[in-house]
Amino acid sequence: MPKNKKPAGGRPARNFDPDYVAKRRAQQAKKGPKPGSRSPGHRGYRSPEETPKKNRWDAAERAERAEQRRQGDRRFDRDDRPQRERFDEDRPKRHYERDDRPRRQFARDDRPRRDDRARDDRARRDDRGSRFARDDRPGRDDRRFDRDARPQRRSFDSDDRPRRSFERDSRPRRDDRSTRFNSDDRAQRRYERDDRPRRQFDRDERPQRRQFDRDDRPQRRFDRDSRPQRRDSFANRDAKPRFTPQDDVVLERLEADAIQASDVEGVSFSDLGLGGNIVRTLGELGAASPFPIQAATIPDVLAGKDVLGRGRTGSGKTIAFGAPLVERLMENKGGTKREMGRKPRALILAPTRELALQIDRTVQPIARSVGLFTTQIYGGVPQARQVGALKRGVDIVIGTPGRIEDLIEQGRLDLSDVKVSVLDEADHMCDLGFLEPVQRILRQTAPKGQKLLFSATLDTGVAALVNEFLVDPAVHEVAGEDQDSGTIDHRVLVALREDKVQLLTELADRDEKTLVFTRTRAYAEQLVDDLEDAGVRAVALHGDLSQGRRQRNLERLTSGRVKVLVATDVAARGIHVDDITLVIQADMPDEYKTYLHRSGRTGRAGKAGRVVTVIPRNRRRRMTEMLERAEIDAPIVDVFPGDDVVDEIAGRPTIADLTS
DNA sequence: AAAAAAC
């Protein structure tokens, strides 16, 4: 039946109900005219004068909403964000928890120092609130739109949400572990939990609690030792190869030729063998003379050798492979003019779409300077444009594995002419889930084609690829360039779980760019809400957002319009944003390599930066081990909201500074 | 177990 026909039987569609239509018209009339199009000449154009002002929330209303939420009244959310509402229904416990904690208020009042600052902040935050209010509301609406409009998202929700609520409420890890690995353990656990009513008691009185906790520690340790089951469960974990801390070992470093930074002095890109146009473009990109890793790898790439390159985060790896790759293509262009539909001759693979995009932003101008074309091939966006570019003919394909394989299967992308392939973040591309697609793609490229593997954490994990695809590779690294020799100040803060949000808020409430990492997409969302409720503008970046929103939110940080980005590990590798001065790890990273990559988002190209990791007490040991593997020295301190060290890390003057 | 990556 055509859509515009009135249904034959049953209740008529509302639009065909004269009463309904009349009622709606009356409502519309009362509301006044709708806002029309803003561009003159458009059919629905309305001049600004006759366009009614939209209802915007001001700072006071916003604060009221936050207060309502705090009191467990979800009315505002229900109107605004249906999705959230459903989420909360799954977790009635939270209402209870929140209502049950007036303590917060109390604690805050109890500290005059905090109060002073809070007053200052409040003024500033209100300010900020109104400044952002205009952008804010539509943004939220957008978000709701995204949710509704995207089926994938739903499927994610249905799989993930329930589990999330379970985790949050009932201490995920432990339960999980015990049920999985040791059923006997479980009974014991439950006993333990029942055995801790004193915690409840302590919760009422802050200062005592601190005291108590400190005393409590030895006892805890004793507890642990006296629980053989627990040990067993760890032993079992160890037996599971992929999930254990043991998995996080430092793989053997590849035998590498180390270039000394001093060897590079006075060397120019031309000296390394790059042509005039390319050198000029590099200069325009801000690369006047080569960084060490570039000086080390460029000659070998130009010589056609397979290359493994390790240079720490922010050391200029993109140019290290991008520039010589273009030079190579230009050299052996022989015969192949820029004909329509010519097959690509070079391929650059990256683990995330944002990284692929970013690489293209560097490589494209270099390629254009010598008349070569690049195109991005990645998912999450319509493929038509990408296919169109391929039809016209491109020389360099830059993208992520999924869409590249997709287009190969559709017969729209032919890699058989690819003579140079680059894997950026190569060790990550060898992780489970990435390795096989990458192998399949590389097998499509020209046999014996040149392969270049780059990463800040290049280790023997890439052996699978090296053995199959590389011939006598040259391995390069820069002498003395381990991460710790860099410009980054590392800190670890041990905090109580119930202080975490407050602490993160205080850390993130600053004027310079801040990147916050979480372990899950759900927590990234949650944290953005928590920060916004506390008056700190923040946006999220994770794989559950539409690609448009991902790019928009990243751009908001890049442009500095928003100072805080909360991201999953999708942003851990390769992403370059100028002047991120603080990286906050709201969750501890999984492995030392992740630690290195996350912290590498700051302190780039020799600039100063700071990394702070917030952990609960029981992660302290694992954290210490991870730092050892990463070869990083970081002080580990107990911290509570309002402590001086928090201000110091955030870069605010401490009380001591103010009074001196 | 999570994250990323295709429609």
* pLDDT tens for each residue of A55-86: 666 666 666 666 665 554 443 333 333 333 33
Task: List alpha helices for A150-182, DSSP H.
Answer: 151-169, 172-181
Q: What average pLDDT is seen over chain A?
A: 72
Q: What is the DSSP string of A347-358?
A: EEE-SSHHHHHH
Check whether A263 has a pLDDT greater than 70: yes
- Lowest mean pLDDT across A44-58, A442-456, A558-572: A44-58
Q: Can you tell me whether residue A515 is helix, strand or coil?
A: strand
Check whether A581 has a pLDDT greater than 70: yes
- Cα A250 to its chain centre, rounded Å, is 24
d(CA A638, CA A496): 9
What pLDDT, on a 0 to 100 scale, did the predictor assign at position A259?
75
Check whether A631 has a pLDDT greater than 50: yes
- pLDDT tens-digit readout, A128-174: 333 333 333 333 333 333 433 333 333 333 333 333 333 333 333 33
**Of residues A35 and A280, which shows the higher confidence score?**
A280
Tokens describing residue A652: 């605010």
Give A39's pLDDT tier (boundaries 50, 70, 90): low
**Of residues A409 and A208, which shows the higher confidence score?**
A409
Closest C-alpha among A535, A540, A515, A509 to residue A142: A540
Task: Answer whether A347's CB lies under 8 Å from A421's CB.
Answer: yes
Task: Answer whether A574's CB lies under 8 Å from A427's CB.
Answer: no
**Closest alpha carbon to C1' of B3, residue:** A569
Burial class (CB in 10 A: 0-12, 13-18, 19+), A485: exposed
d(CA A657, CA A660): 5
- pLDDT tens-digit readout, A290-315: 998 999 999 999 999 999 998 877 78
Check whether A409 has a pLDDT greater than 80: yes
Q: What is the DSSP string of A65-126?
A: HHHHHHTT--HHHHHH-HHHHHHHHT-HHHHHHHHT-THHHHHHHT-HHHHHHHHHHHHHHH
What pLDDT, on a 0 to 100 scale, did the predictor assign at position A51?
54
**Closest alpha carbon to C1' of B2, residue:** A520
Give A14's pLDDT tier (boundaries 50, 70, 90): low
CA atoms within 13 A on the CB side of A192: 14
Closest C-alpha among A319, A312, A313 to residue A285: A319
What pLDDT, on a 0 to 100 scale, did the predictor assign at position A36?
54
> CA of A626 vs C1' of B3, distance in Å?
19
CA atoms within 13 A on the CB side of A109: 5
Residue with tokens 């006047």: A288
> CA of A377 vs C1' of B4, distance in Å?
16
Give A30's pLDDT tier (boundaries 50, 70, 90): low
d(CA A127, CA A511): 14
Distances (CA, A) of A602 to A133, A507, A521, A539, A560: 29, 15, 22, 18, 15
d(CA A622, CA A303): 44
Task: Answer whether A540's CB lies under 8 Å from A571's CB.
Answer: no
What pLDDT, on a 0 to 100 scale, did the predictor assign at position A79?
34
d(CA A182, CA A220): 21
- Lowest mean pLDDT across A184-188, A579-583, A597-601, A656-660: A184-188
Give A52's pLDDT tier (boundaries 50, 70, 90): low
Residues contacting strand B at CB < 7 A?
A: A 160, 163, 176, 180, 242-243, 351-353, 378-381, 383, 399-406, 409, 431-434, 437, 519-522, 542-544, 568-570, 590
What pLDDT, on a 0 to 100 scale, did the predictor assign at position A311?
85
Closest C-alpha among A353, A398, A351, A358 to residue A379: A353
What pLDDT, on a 0 to 100 scale, did the predictor assign at position A237?
32
Type of residue at A258: A
**Closest alpha carbon to C1' of B5, residue:** A402
- Lowest mean pLDDT across A240-249, A356-365, A398-407: A240-249
Task: List alpha helices for A410-462, DSSP H.
Answer: 426-429, 435-444
- Cα A290 to its chain centre, rounded Å, is 29
**Of residues A637 and A51, which shows the higher confidence score?**
A637
Query: Which uninterrupted H or E stretch holds A566?
Result: strand A564-567
Check whether A227 has a pLDDT greater than 80: no
Task: Answer whether A369's CB lies under 8 Å from A281's CB.
Answer: yes
| % of chain A surpassing 90 pLDDT | 48
| Nearest nucleotide to A401, CA against C1' atoms | B5
CATH ID of A257-478, from 3.40.50.300, 3.20.20.70, 3.40.50.720, 3.40.50.1820: 3.40.50.300
Of how many residues is chain A composed?
Answer: 660
d(CA A229, CA A184): 7
Q: Can you tell me whether residue A637 is helix, strand or coil?
A: strand
- pLDDT tens-digit readout, A339-390: 788 899 999 999 999 999 999 999 999 999 999 999 999 999 999 999 999 9
Sequence-distant (≥ 6) Cβ neighbours of residue A164 within 8 angstroms: A520, A522
Closest C-alpha among A465, A352, A442, A344 to residue A400: A352
d(CA A613, CA A619): 11
> CA of A402 vs C1' of B5, distance in Å?
5
What pLDDT, on a 0 to 100 scale, did the predictor assign at position A605?
74
Tokens describing residue A505: 């808020």
**Closest alpha carbon to C1' of B1, residue:** A243
What pLDDT, on a 0 to 100 scale, did the predictor assign at position A332?
72
Mean pLDDT across A418-441: 93
Type of residue at A355: L
Give A640's pLDDT tier (boundaries 50, 70, 90): very high
> CA of A22 vs C1' of B2, distance in Å?
53
d(CA A412, CA A390): 8
Check whether A338 has a pLDDT greater than 80: no
Check whether A477 has a pLDDT greater than 50: yes
Q: What is the largest CA-CA distance in chain A?
A: 85
| Strand B nucleotides within 7 Å of a protein CB | 1-7
> CA of A243 vs C1' of B1, distance in Å?
8
> CA of A385 vs C1' of B5, distance in Å?
19
Check whether A279 has a pLDDT greater than 90: yes
Q: Is the CATH code 3.40.50.300 the one for domain A483-659?
A: yes
User: Helix crossing, A151-169 with A92-99: angle to 10°?
Assistant: 50
Strand ranges (E), A466-586: 474-478, 488-494, 513-517, 539-541, 564-567, 580-585
Sequence-distant (≥ 6) Cβ neighbours of residue A196 within 8 angstroms: none
Check whether A493 has a pLDDT greater than 70: yes
> What does R_g of chain A's alpha carbons equal in angstroms?
28
How do the domains of chain A map onto residue ranges? 169-247, 257-478, 483-659
Mean pLDDT across A563-571: 95
> CA of A86 vs C1' of B7, distance in Å?
28
What pLDDT, on a 0 to 100 scale, did the predictor assign at position A336?
56
**Closest alpha carbon to C1' of B7, residue:** A406
Type of residue at A476: H
Could you tell me the end-to-end alpha-carbon distance of chain A, in angstroms, rounded to an integer? 80
Give ∠ CA A366-A369-A372 in degrees, rounded to 5: 80
Closest C-alpha among A109, A107, A67, A114 to residue A203: A107
Common-topology check for domains A257-478 and A483-659: yes
Check whether A422 has a pLDDT greater than 80: yes
Check whether A234 has a pLDDT greater than 90: no
d(CA A502, CA A317): 38
> CA of A542 vs C1' of B3, distance in Å?
9
Other CB atoms within 10 A of residue A394 CB: 25
Q: Can you tell me whether residue A141 is helix, strand or coil?
A: helix
What pLDDT, on a 0 to 100 scale, did the predictor assign at position A44?
57
Type of residue at A367: A
- pLDDT tens-digit readout, A442-452: 999 999 999 99
Mean pLDDT across A395-420: 94
d(CA A515, CA A567): 7
Task: Answer whether A459's CB lies under 8 Å from A252's CB.
Answer: yes
